[in-house]
A and B are shown apart, each in its own frame.
Chain A
Amino acid sequence: MKRFAYDFERPLVQLETTLDEMKRLESAEKEDIAADICYLEEQIQKLRMRTYSKLTAWQKVQFARHPDRPKMVDYVEAIFTDFIELHGDRAFKDDSSITGGFARLDDEKVMILGHQKGRNTKENIAWNFGMPNPEGYRKAIRIMKLADKFGLPLITFVDTPGAHPGIGAEERGQAVAIAESIMELSRLKVPVIVSVIGEGGSGGALAIGFGDRVIMLENSYYSVITPEGCASILWDGEVSAERAAEVLGLTADKLLELGIIDTIVKEPLGGAHHAPALVARNLKKEIVSALDELKAAGQESLADKRYEKLRSIGHYAEHLKALTK
């Protein structure tokens, strides 16, 4: 089976394909080349390290968008049980690019909410590539309010290139839908735990993308603008998205350093799609421990603490600026 690979992965994939072919040879011939196979395996191991151990920001963006990367639906299946999906904004339609509902996290009753990206073309078309319209955010607000009303911790999954840019989206108030979703999230009395699992595309991600704990998968990104958008605006398109990704500071480690996220969940070499079950297990561990901590802290002060956390994000100076040359 031909598998999807980015340019920087091609040499590795070629070696791996060769190895597969060698292994498929008749057993008699195989003995003759046993040493070759062994050598090739070593080479592959080394090349894998070289290819994946120091990913650039842009390579991480590519992994975040990888078609085989586990999506929200995969994590819902792997982490929760007894999911009851809820639908609709009660005004216009059901936007399936955002989904959510009741679920159990082990014995804990919770509410889950997230961007839905498809695992194939059919799902992607049905779910609009994870790009919500205003009704998606209004459904999100409904789900947040239900969580608050029934005292269920809110667990969100962020994976969107951004909110959908379209005529209908503007007519129906894309901006205010996102703004209201952000405002609702800020004042919930229940614990809010966010996991950025793929793309954290701008305001469309932020609408469900901040909380008491923000967890990020190692090769996901969270950015004020897509690298492509940034390149085309700031450099008039002359500079590649690759360089924009570097300067935007959108990787998990950079965002941890800036205090915007709280935890990073490691991924196996080559990205989460190489060991989805392991990544889901590790992510679940983080979510559970965050929830335990937040519950121990007591519900009363959560919204206040969340406010203080937001309040502390901002790098500015108030002294008079030194004169510039």
Chain B
Amino acid sequence: MPIGDWFKKEQKDDTQSAAKRAVPDGVWEKCPGCNEALFIKELERNHMVCSKCDYHFPISAQMRIEDLTDHGSFEELWADMHSEDPLHFIGVKAYALSLDKAEKTTGLKDAAVCGRALIDGRRVAIGVIDFKFIGGSMGAVVGEKITRIIELATEEKVPVITVSSSGGARMQEGMISLMQMAKTSAAVARQSAAGLPYISVLANPTTGGVTASFATLADIIIAEPKALIGFAGPRVIEQTIKQKLPKDFQTAEFNLQHGQIDMIVDRANMKRVISRLIDYMGS
């Protein structure tokens, strides 16, 4: 079961907060972590992290890249790649329409943004998944772009960094999506065999087919505080085992305690930590 049930919930929350942001002169944002009203300007200065409770708001791929790489160094690749809707999938609405809508709200052609960049002057390859584009789900485009960025890093002998926030495989592309798990994982196998570093950052939420493929195959796995990370969605688990889940279940902290990740790093410190790691692992 690749997709967590949080999917629906998160999507709703997203539309709600998007609606709130659309209010004219909306200068306040309510924190889902502590319910405090936060001054947006200040929130942005703080990398979209609540100064009261440390809640990490979801951020766009562009903002993420700006945060992690040297200013102006990012050179995007394959930006025009888009889905062909191979199954002509029609759910509540046509998948083609969901793609159009996601493209309009995010300015992206699909959920992954990949390219070359510098971190403290060091060359890296980076791939970031934007949750706002259909729940950051992995279909053929995300799978292909992540595979290409891993291959490019292998070829150019540079570290690769991925930042994930994804509900998993994109069910609107059926088995083609599932196979992207194999494709990306196979690319990691080759990159790893070449002795090159791979750092995976897991942001809220990362579940299903992305955690069960490239995102957990890195040399180092870093999570953002309180991020939901797991394979199956909490509701699916609850329905299956018919008992209540522990309070902190599938949080970054839970995953650290159970040995599933290397560390939890605040957004404000993420670039510095990655830079130090690359220094140890890079040539």
Chain A residues close to B by CB (< 8 Å): 162-167, 169-176, 178-180, 182-183, 185-187, 201-204, 206, 210, 222-226, 229-230, 233-236, 247-250, 255, 258, 260, 306-307, 310-311, 313-321, 324
Contacts and interface: CB of A to CB of B under 8 A. Distances in A.
Nearest to A228: B1
Interface stretch (B36-44, B51-59, B64-72, B141-149): B141-149
A183 B186 contact: yes
Interface stretch (B17-25, B76-84, B114-122, B263-271): B76-84
Nearest to B232: A165
Contacts of A247: 87, 89-91
B190 A319 contact: no
A163 B3 CA distance: 12
8 contacts: A174-B212, A174-B232, A179-B213, A186-B186, A224-B174, A229-B236, A306-B186, A310-B182
B232 A250 contact: no
A314 B92 contact: no
Interface stretch (B26-34, B123-131, B152-160, B242-250): B242-250
Contacts of A165: 1, 231-233, 236-237, 240-241
A170 B186 contact: no
Contact of B83 (A171, A178, A224, A316): A316
B165 to A, nearest CB: 15
Contact of B185 (A164, A182, A229, A320): A182
Contact of B81 (A166, A174, A313, A317): A317
B233 to A, nearest CB: 8
B106 to A, nearest CB: 14
B230 A170 contact: yes
Contact of A233 (B171, B216, B259): B171
Contacts of B82: 316-317, 321
Given A167-B249, A170-B237, A316 B80 contact: no
Q: How large is the interface on B (under 10, 10 to 19, 20 to 34, 35 or more residues)?
A: 35 or more
A260 B189 CA distance: 21
Contacts of B175: 222-224, 249-250, 255, 258, 260
Given A165-B232, A224-B171, A234-B91, A310 B188 contact: no
B92 A235 contact: yes
Most central of A171, A172, A187 by chain B CB within 10 Å:
A171
B8 to A, nearest CB: 6
B21 to A, nearest CB: 24
A166 B174 contact: no
Most central of A169, A182, A210, A224 by chain B CB within 10 Å:
A224
Nearest to B233: A165
Contacts of A174: 212, 230-232
A46 B80 CA distance: 54
A229 B5 CA distance: 9
Contacts of B272: none
Most central of B185, B207, B249 by chain A CB within 10 Å:
B185
Given A248-B171, A249-B174, A203 B209 contact: yes
B185 A167 contact: no
Contacts of A306: 186
Nearest to A185: B182
Given A182-B185, A203-B209, A310-B183, A167 B169 contact: no
Contacts of B13: none
A313 B81 CA distance: 15
Contacts of B7: 233
Given A162-B1, A233-B8, A248-B174, A313 B179 contact: yes
Contacts of B208: 203
Contacts of B258: 170-173
Contact of B232 (A163, A176, A186, A210): A163
Contacts of A179: 181, 185, 211-217
Interface in B193-215: 193, 207-209, 211-215
B176 A258 contact: yes
B260 interface: yes
Contacts of B186: 182-183, 186-187, 306-307, 310-311
A321 B79 CA distance: 11
Contacts of A255: 175
Contacts of B109: 321
B140 interface: yes
